[in-house]
Structure 1
Amino acid sequence: MSETIRIANSELAVEISSLGAEMQSLQAADGRDFLWNGDAAWWTGRSPILFPIVGKAPGDVLAVNGTTYPMAQHGIARRREFAMVEQTETACRHELVSTPETRAVYPFDFRLTLEHRLEGRTLSVTATVENTGGKLLPFGIGFHPAFLWPLPGADGKQHSVILDNGAEPGVIQLEDGLIGKTLPTSPFKAGRLELAHTLFDNDALIFPEGAGTGLSFAADGGPSLHFTFENLPNIALWQKPGAPFLCVEPWHGMAAHAGGTAELVERPYTVALAAGDAMRFGFTVEIRG
């Protein structure tokens, strides 16, 4: 059975489920909810962790040195129970370790640790991947948090995504969930993307590089969420068309190429971790206004 725990300080409260170590709510002290509620009419996810792949595999099949394994979109971790290994009033740490069941679909030994921590009006979410086996560990990893759109109290206001670096990064078009061509123009203008539901008619907007290490999701004259990213070079924005949420997704790894190989090591931005090594990835989100 899954268990949900709560961490809180004087500014924020967060609930996290043991299933996927997935955040269930992000609430300010004044009662405003910022995280998507998982309404099944649109999308049951709220903030899943993506591991050991980000995005789809061709035909939902992953290949490792020519041997194929079934692998659903975004991997196995989001569907697994994590063990609670540490909890305080303002932080918690969950852990997933490889088992015979995970090795049947992903033939590697690993430890995946997820930490949620509050400090003031900021939540930090950190994932650490450790190679506990004796061979190279290839993987992709990403975060998939969904936030209410419109933001609380901002009905009818223009919402935008604003890059800290002011860039106009290139965007990739998905083809049946796989990485397709780079589009000729960026939807960002001087670092600003004014959001409209029609932007997501053809699935997510994926920015492989150039979006930088920080951005804001903001309502004109209303609240905003400011994000920073650690070791997560790929950024995606996604909404199920017409749904009242926006996913701000930082990744290290992407879907397989359309028309390409199913081999894990051939996927864009795949990490290759040496035996005994560990690597950390994370994001912060600060509530402003």
Structure 2
Amino acid sequence: MKTTLKNLHSTVEINHKGAELVSFKNKLNTEYIWEGNPEFWGKHSPILFPIVGTLKNNSFVYNDTTYNLLRHGFARDVNFQLISQTNEEAVFSLLANEETLKVYPFLFELQLKYTLIENELQIAYTIFNRDNVILPFSIGAHPAFALPKDFENYALAFDETENLISYQLENDLISDVTLEHETKENILPLTYSLFEQDALIFKNLKSKKITILENDIPFLRVTYDDFAHLGIWTKNNAPFICIEPWLGYSDTIYSNGNILEKEAIQFVEPKETFVCTFIIEIL
């Protein structure tokens, strides 16, 4: 089942499974979200919750109990409830239940709010801690943007001068190995060779906006003021690029498995709420 948002400038479709953005078109009917061809990657823009990336041994420890939780968590694979909708806004909800408690023993509600304003889509994540204990979590976005021309026609423009250093993965975990990526005037040309070792993972960027350039012309912008970390990813020969604002990332190779001590883990106090928002803008 899908929900549609529409105004004079653009149209958005959201799948109730995972509350996943599956389409964002301008008034000329140009599609900006990856089609989800499973030959390359069968998703469009999954939400990563309650973890981002991979846990060591696909598990974590809480109160001396071990829980198994697979890569990127479960939210992307379950049905959300549509709890409100207008022409330009929709709110989806996922509540802790018997199945989630088996792998993540916390009482939570996760809401996704999509708000369409002209050519801009605001996506807000709200985590409600319904429990009487601190709620540890990571959350991230994974939108894949369709690139209609050859991949090398595109580049990423950062809004700040960066020393672009990414962290390499070792068995899907964050290692100590880093790579420095050369930019010119804050622009990183896209080549498939950038992703030979999987995603580019940035722990600390100054930039809070990234613009995709198509033949030096601004094409689409992602703004992520509320997110501390970033992933950039594609697959070899795939006609898309993922720009992924994150709060959290995979375990490091040194992780002891304790969820409360996980590097970059976030917390919500009992009965409190956490909100973070990012924006996709068609240019």
Shorter-chain TM-score bucket reads over 0.9
Matched, 1:248 2:247: no
Counterpart of 1:244 in structure 2: which amino acid? P
Cα deviation, residue 190, structure 1:
4.2
Partner of 1:36: 34
- Identify the match of residue 87 of structure 1 among 71, 85, 88: 85
Partner of 1:266: 261
Cα deviation, residue 216, structure 1:
0.6
- Deviations, residues 21-78 of structure 1 (Å, cap 9, x unaligned): 0011111110111100111111111100011100001121222233211111000111
What are structure 1's unaligned runs of at least 5 residues? none
Matched, 1:17 2:12: no
- Deviations, residues 119-145 of structure 1 (Å, cap 9, x unaligned): 011111110111111000000000000
Partner of 2:180: 185
Q: Conserved in 1, the CA contact under 8 Å of 2:18 and 2:46?
A: yes
Question: Using the alignment, how far apart are the partners of 1:85 and 1:257 within structure 2?
Answer: 37
Question: Using the alignment, how far apart are the partners of 1:236 and 1:156 within structure 2?
Answer: 18
Q: Conserved in 2, the CA contact under 8 Å of 1:211 and 1:235?
A: no
Partner of 1:197: 192
What stretches of structure 1 move > 6 A for 4+ residues in a row?
none
- Identify the match of residue 172 of structure 1 among 167, 170, 174: 167
What are structure 2's unaligned runs of at least 5 residues? none
Q: Conserved in 1, the CA contact under 8 Å of 2:155 and 2:216?
A: no
Partner of 2:46: 48
Question: Using the alignment, how far apart are the partners of 1:205 and 1:236 within structure 2?
Answer: 6
Number of residue pairs the alignment of both structures matches? 283
Question: Using the alignment, how far apart are the partners of 1:182 and 1:76 within structure 2?
Answer: 29
- Deviations, residues 210-247 of structure 1 (Å, cap 9, x unaligned): 24211111112445111111321101101122211111
Worse overlay, 50-59 or 179-188:
179-188
Question: Using the alignment, how far apart are the partners of 1:67 and 1:161 within structure 2?
Answer: 43
TM-score of the aligned structures, taking structure 2 as reference length = 0.95
Q: Percent identical across equivalent pairs? A: 31
Worse overlay, 213-222 or 17-26:
213-222
Residues 1:164 and 1:259: Cα distance change in structure 2 (over 3 Å): same
TM-score of the aligned structures, taking structure 1 as reference length = 0.93
Q: Conserved in 2, the CA contact under 8 Å of 1:169 and 1:211?
A: no
Counterpart of 1:27 in structure 2: which amino acid? K
Q: Conserved in 1, the CA contact under 8 Å of 2:94 and 2:109?
A: yes
Question: Using the alignment, how far apart are the partners of 1:112 and 1:6 within structure 2?
Answer: 20
